[in-house]
Structure 1
Amino acid sequence: MYLIILSKMHYGPFSIIEAKEIVSGNMTEHFGVWRAGLEVGYALKTYVLLYAFVLLFIGQLPLALMLLVMLLVLISLSFVCAITPMLSPYDTVTVQSLVTGALVIYIVILVVVMG
């Protein structure tokens, strides 16, 4: 789930470089208030995923503690995003394929050992 949130971060390590959208793409058609609405939507998506992460893996907490834990997870995600470069589309697919392959190998090993 942490990797899913990381991949859905707007400026995360799995984000595709946006230089092409300077001259074409869906972001060039939206400016001003419409662009602000899109950015608010991206931010809300991130906080909903953080809330779901904390709720699923830690459990129900009081509101203040929930916000603190969400902030700590967001800070950890921010550090990962800050120290990793933006990837080209081909590199993004490669990294996601390697992570998926590693998870499949881990699951197979668990099934063989446990089964």
Structure 2
Amino acid sequence: MLYTRHIRESVDFYVNNLGFTCIGYDEDWGWATVSRDDIEIMLALPVDSATFTMPKFTGSFYIRTDKVDTLWAELKEKAVICYPIEDFSYGMREFGVFDYNGYLLQFGMPIE
């Protein structure tokens, strides 16, 4: 569950920029679910929206895929890049982008 003050804009970003499909949306509840391949991400208004200004999550969401190069070609012009695709010494080929709210999404696959 990713908290946001902007449900509609967040859904639109995932759908239009990252190729997800909106599979659930309820404006009254302040909740939505987006899906792509085997990934589902829920978006919701924070419980205490008065004190919520931006994401407080300090990590990243790492998505393993066997299509990292295809995803990179598709997403690199549609999202703010954290770091471009690269082969890393720890055996992964990956890249990172930020979503509408600033959450870091990393996509990677093992180097064969």
TM range (shorter): under 0.3
Which of the pair is proportionally richer in helix? 1
- Larger radius of gyration, structure 1 or 2? 1
When normalised by structure 2's length, the TM-score is 0.26
When normalised by structure 1's length, the TM-score is 0.26
